[in-house]
Amino acid sequence: MIELKQLTKKYGTKKKSTTALSEIDLQVGKGEIFGVIGHSGAGKSTLIRCINLLERPTSGEVWVNGVNLTALGKGDLQKHRRKIGMIFQHFNLLSSATVYDNIAFPLTLTNTPKADIKKKVSDLLALVGLEDHKNKYPAQLSGGQKQRVGIARALASDPDVLLCDEATSALDPQTTDSILRLLLDINKKFNLTIMLITHEMHVIQSVCDRVAVIHAGGIVEEGPVTEVFLKP
Ligand code: ADP
Ligand code: ADP
């Protein structure tokens, strides 16, 4: 589902550059929950942002669902990006839009008929348990509720893959667990492929099938979570 081939990302100029990622090879299968863990500065967010080409890799290839995204032109890339959902540490919601409108937003970009949007958003509100909050604004929600909106918005375009960028790092432990349970439910219900990055071991141990440990831009260990980390 996701395949990275010799992925390298350097920031800066040729003369003075930082290598954030160095020749990463990685495969994530359909329906898998794959975690990437590492300390601050290891290259996690660069890695996840290269998958939907929010960051353009310096070299190497990114394949998602059989398509080489790194070879696409702007128009095709935009189309394929819709099939890659993403959620963020700080939720990235539109503060002047209601919960409903935040979730509907990706659908309005593709000229989806209003009745279809309504059906889709109400299904998603039910899925994330926010039916009673659809007319609220983000500022009126708790952190966990905001992330539920983020998840619903990411699912609105029926993605092949969900990327989670430190999605629970701003949440307290109890809320973290409820968001992780929701991600597990969604993974099972839709056989959705999920890739997440985190610096928290607990997150990896509670939901991931496989894990890669990243250090200084390279993968130093990779395998089933139960083999890489002994469960407590
Ligand atoms: P992590 O997410 O694991 O904290 P990052 O991917 O943010 O790691 O960073 C990896 C390396 O790339 C670090 O050395 C960081 O300083 C550098 N880096 C990240 N983003 C940029 C940028 N926009 N410009 C220059 N260097 C960057
Ligand atoms: P129904 O509305 O018939 O009960 P489901 O319970 O299967 O349908 O799905 C709930 C909502 O999630 C629907 O709007 C559906 O279109 C949407 N959905 C289905 N598959 C996916 C997927 N792979 N990713 C995200 N959302 C999906």
For residue range 37-76, what is the model confidence (pLDDT) as tens digits?
Answer: 999 999 999 999 999 999 999 999 999 999 999 999 999 9
Residue nearest ligand 1's atom 5 by CA: 43
Could you say which ligand is closest to the alpha carbon of residue 42? 1
Taking the CA of residue 155 as reference, the ligand 2 atom at the shortest distance is 25
139: CA distance to ligand 2 center in Å?
Answer: 27
* Ligand 1 pocket check for 41: Cβ under 6 Å: yes
Residue 232 pLDDT exceeds 70: no
For residue range 124-151, what is the model confidence (pLDDT) as tens digits?
Answer: 999 999 999 999 999 999 999 999 999 9
Residue 231 pLDDT exceeds 70: no
Average per-residue pLDDT for the chain: 96
Taking the CA of residue 189 as reference, the ligand 2 atom at the shortest distance is 7
Q: How confident is the model at residue 14 (pLDDT cuts 50, 70, 90)?
A: confident
For the entire predicted model, the pTM comes to 0.88
For residue range 18-40, what is the model confidence (pLDDT) as tens digits?
Answer: 999 999 999 999 999 999 999 99
What is the predicted pLDDT for the residue at 229?
83
Would you list the DSSP string of the chain? Answer: -EEEEEEEEEEE-SSSEEEEEEEEEEEE-TT-EEEEE--TTSSHHHHHHHHTTSS--SEEEEEETTEEGGG--HHHHHHHHTTEEEEETT----TTS-HHHHHHHHHHHTT--HHHHHHHHHHHHHHHT-GGGTT--GGGS-HHHHHHHHHHHHHTT--SEEEEESTTTTS-HHHHHHHHHHHHHHHHHH--EEEEEES-HHHHHHH-SEEEEEETTEEEEEEEHHHHS---
